[in-house]
Amino acid sequence: MTWNLTHDDIERIAIGAGILGTGGGGNPYRGMTRARLQLDQGHQLQIVGLDELPDDALVVPIGGMGAPTIGLEKIGRGDEGKVAIEELESQLGVKVAATVPVEVGGGNSFTPMIAATQLGLPTVDADGMGRAFPELDMVSYYFDGVAPSPIVMVDCQHRKVIIRDVSDTRMLERMARAMCVQLGGSAMVADCPIPVRRLRETCIPNTLTLAHRIGDAVLTAQHQGNDPVGTICEVTDGRVLFGGKVVDVDRRFERGYNFGRLRIAGLGAWEGSTARIDLQNEFLICQVEDEVLAIVPDLITLVDSERGNPITTEVVRYGLRVTVLGIPAPPQLTTEQALHFVGPQAFGYEEAYRPLERREAVGWRG
């Protein structure tokens, strides 16, 4: 499969990636605009399946690191990804064959495509999360504990940071995070290239196609006057966890992350009860009273109750009417090895992971 994206495809991926982003992953609209500009300038955004590439071809995982609010204001230069990949190639003395997203969520679904098209390369239809997570060590490519060292970070002034000889992914995350802050809160990060053979074993496949399918379903429902929220559930095997109005947004900073809690007062079928959602850049756990409705790595996503459009963590605010969706995590995230990096304990929760599928359905929107 080789797929050249159209303007319409880009819009669909933006909506779907916003939903898979679980509140994070960068602003989908900015990513969409930049991707469309590439088409307008005559470039192709080419998506390939993993099977299209030879086993030993090298694929570079790439994505933007930084605060969503900063990305909204300080838009990039446009070629940071290309510069990072070229630096990585020169450091390692190799040529890469394609790019791949680290996370399919939000704007970071488009970041690898934009870098790839500037180098005349395709982007692989896969990612390392099937969603978005806050940290560099939460990528399925590195669940075996082997850090993607070296990495190259590039900012809008083409300042480069190369971090090498770090074997622990959590240490790599800390070092990169500290540099990111010094670079003005946003940077492009290209990880050490991965052979296709290994990517096949570790990635979450076909997630760009999934994002496209979700976005297509939302737009079709909106145009036909059908319920977009129900449609999202059908496509993602998700369920409505809760619906209501955001009545409190309490956020605080700890250890360089944005921790916080939303409270949502139930409306309709949930009248009289209140849902709580914790976040660390992305949504982590959704509880009603003492019952846990969903927890990482399962996806917790907020959408506008009427239109089904995703609502991200930095823009959620008092008074919004939202529907909380729970979407089962891809199986690659729920193995014992994976849960070490992306399970409840990785985020400081004592509770064991209980997958969404085993819960009683709290209520399907009908």
Partner 1 sequence: MTLRLGIDVGGTNTDAVVLNERAELLASFKSPTTPDVTSGIRNALDGLVQTHPALDLGAIKHAMLGTTHCTNAILERSNLNRVGLVRIGAPATLAIPPFVGWPEDLRAAVGGQHAVVEGGHEYDGREIRPLDIRAIKEAAKSFEGNVDTLAVVGAFAAVDASHEKRAGEALRDVLGDLPLTYSHEIGSLGLLERENASILNAAVVDAARAAASGFERALREHGIDARLFFSQNDGTLMALDYAVRYPILTIASGPANSIRGAAFLSGVRDGAVVDVGGTSTDVGVLVHGFPRESSVTVEIGGVRTNFRMPDLVSIALGGGTRIHRTGSLRLGPDSVGYRITADALVFGGDTLTLSDVAVAAELATMGDPSRVNSLDRSLVSAVLTRVRVTCEDVIDRLKTSADPIPVVLVGGGSVVVPADLAPASEILRPANYDVANAIGAAIAQCSGEIDRVFSLDQHSRAEALDIAKQMAVDEAVRAGADAQTVEIIDIQEVPMAYLPSSAIQIRIRAAGDLVLA
Among 34, 82, 212, 239, binds partner 1 (CB under 8 A): 34
Among residue numbers 165 through 184, which ones bind partner 1 (CB under 8 A)? 177-178, 180-181, 184
The span from the CA of 88 to the CA of 350, in Å, is 39
Q: Does 306 bind partner 1 (CB under 8 A)?
A: yes
The span from the CA of 228 to the CA of 234, in Å, is 10
Token readout for 307 is 């239109």
- Token pair 């139930």 is found at 266
Cβ-based nearer residue to partner 1, 164 or 317: 317
Helix then strand then coil, % of the chain, to nearest 5: 35, 25, 35
Q: Does 292 bind partner 1 (CB under 8 A)?
A: no
Cβ-based nearer residue to partner 1, 93 or 319: 319
23, amino acid identity: G
Q: How far is the CB of 328 from partner 1 (least distance, A)?
A: 26
- Token pair 């209140």 is found at 274
Among 272, 319, 350, 366, binds partner 1 (CB under 8 A): 319
SS3 sequence, 196-263?
HHHHHHHCEECHHHHHHHHHHHHHHHHHHCCCHHHHHHHHHCCEEEEEEEEEEEEEEEECCEEEEEEE
DSSP H stretches of helix in 144-185: 169-182
Among 17, 45, 65, 113, binds partner 1 (CB under 8 A): 65
Choose the binding region for partner 1 from 67-75, 116-124, 162-170, 191-199 (rule: CB under 8 A): 67-75
Cβ-based nearer residue to partner 1, 251 or 354: 251
The span from the CA of 65 to the CA of 202, in Å, is 21
Token readout for 354 is 């209980």
Q: Does 30 bind partner 1 (CB under 8 A)?
A: yes
x/- binding map, residues 236-275, to partner 1, per CB under 8 A? ---------x---x-xxx-xxxx-x------xx--x----
Sign of CA dihedral 177, 183, 185, 187: negative
Choose the binding region for partner 1 from 138-146, 215-223, 232-240, 300-308 (rule: CB under 8 A): 300-308
Q: Does 223 bind partner 1 (CB under 8 A)?
A: no
The span from the CA of 183 to the CA of 110, in Å, is 22
Which residues make up the interface to partner 1 (CB under 8 A)?
24, 29-30, 33-34, 37, 65-70, 72-78, 134, 156-158, 177-178, 180-181, 184-185, 245, 249, 251-253, 255-258, 260, 267-268, 271, 281, 304-307, 309, 311, 313-315, 317-321
